[in-house]
C-alpha cells in the first residue's frame, strides 16, 4: 500500500506519542487522579457544555424563524454570541478563583468590570453591523425585516450554532 504509507507512518507516530504520554501518566505518584480529571473533562464537555450550546443554538434558530431574520442577520447574532461566550469562558477562572491572589501583581485588574466593557463593545459592534446590513438592504431596494438586537452578547455560552432546518436562501 505505497499510497497509504504516509498515513500509516503518521498513525504510527501518533500511537508512539500517545504511548510516551501514557507511560508518563502511569509513572506519576497517583495516575488515577489524573484519569478522573481526564474523564471529568470529557463528561463536562459532552454532557454539559455541548448540550448547553446546542440549546442556545435552538433558541437562536427559533428566534430567527419567528422574527424572520435574514441569513446575514442571523450570522451576525451568532458571531456576537460566539464571541461573547468565548470572552466569558476565558475570564471565568479569574472571576471564580477562590481566595486572594498569591501576590499583588497576579490578577491585578477589575475583571468583572472589564468583561462588561468588552461585552458592551461586542454588543455595539454587532448592532452596528446589523444596522449596516439593514441600510445596505434598503439601498438595494429590498425590504429586509429589521432584526432585533436585544439578545446580543447576553448569553454565557462558548459557541452559538445555528440550529435550523429551513434553508433561508
Partner 1 sequence: MTAPTRRRLLPARPRPPSFSGRLHDARTATAVGRWLGAAFAVCFVTGLISHYLQHPPSWAADALPSRPVWGYRVSQGLHVGTGIAAIVLLLVKLWAVYPRLFVWPPVRSVRHALERLSVALLVASAVFELFSGLLNIAEWYPWPFSFVPVHFAVAWVAAGSILLHVAVKAPEIRAHWSRRSPGTLALPAQDGPDRRALMLGLGAAVGAVTLTTVGQSVTPLARLDLLAPRHPRHGPQGLPVNRTAAAAGVGEAALRDWRLEVLGPLPYSLTHAQLLALPQVEARLPIACVEGWSVEALWGGVRIRDLLDRAGAPPGAAVRVTSLETGGAYRIMEMGRTYARDPLTLLALTLGGEPLSPDHGFPARIIAPNRPGVLQTKWVARLEVL
Q: Which of residues 58-117 bind partner 1 (CB under 8 A)?
A: 58, 61, 71-72, 75, 78-80, 82-83, 85-87, 89-91, 93-94, 97-98, 101-109, 111, 114-115, 117
Binding to partner 1 by residue 158, rule CB under 8 A?
Answer: yes
2 binds partner 1 (CB under 8 A): no
Contact 131, 148 (CB under 8 A): no
Size, binding site for partner 1 by CB under 8 A: 78
Helix axes 111-139, 71-96, angle to 10 degrees: 180
C-alpha 83, offset from chain centre: 7
CB 60 within 8 A of CB 81: yes
Contact set for partner 1, span 17-36 (CB under 8 A): 17-22, 24-25, 28-30, 33-34
Q: What are phi and psi of 42, to 5 degrees?
A: -60, -50
For the record, the C-alpha cell of 120 comes out as 458592551
The CB-of-115 to partner 1 minimum distance in angstroms stands at 7
Near partner 1 by CB under 8 A: residue from 13, 67, 124, 128: 13
Amino acid at each position: 500500500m505505497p499510497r497509504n504509507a504516509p498515513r500509516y507512518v503518521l498513525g504510527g507516530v501518533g500511537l508512539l506519542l500517545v504511548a510516551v504520554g501514557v507511560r508518563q501518566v502511569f509513572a506519576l505518584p497517583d495516575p488515577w487522579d489524573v484519569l478522573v480529571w481526564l474523564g471529568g473533562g470529557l463528561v463536562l464537555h459532552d454532557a454539559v457544555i455541548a448540550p448547553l450550546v446546542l440549546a442556545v443554538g435552538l433558541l437562536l434558530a427559533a428566534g430567527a424563524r419567528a422574527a424572520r431574520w435574514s441569513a446575514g442577520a442571523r450570522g451576525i447574532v451568532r458571531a456576537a454570541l460566539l464571541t461573547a461566550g468565548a470572552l466569558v469562558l476565558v475570564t471565568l477562572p479569574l472571576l471564580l478563583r477562590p481566595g486572594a491572589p498569591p501576590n499583588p501583581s497576579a490578577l491585578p485588574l477589575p475583571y468583572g468590570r472589564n468583561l462588561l466593557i468588552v461585552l458592551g463593545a461586542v454588543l455595539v459592534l454587532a448592532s452596528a453591523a446589523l444596522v449596516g446590513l439593514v441600510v445596505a438592504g434598503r439601498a438595494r431596494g429590498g425590504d429586509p425585516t429589521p432584526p432585533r438586537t436585544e439578545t446580543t452578547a447576553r448569553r454565557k455560552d462558548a459557541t452559538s450554532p445555528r440550529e435550523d432546518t429551513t434553508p433561508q436562501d
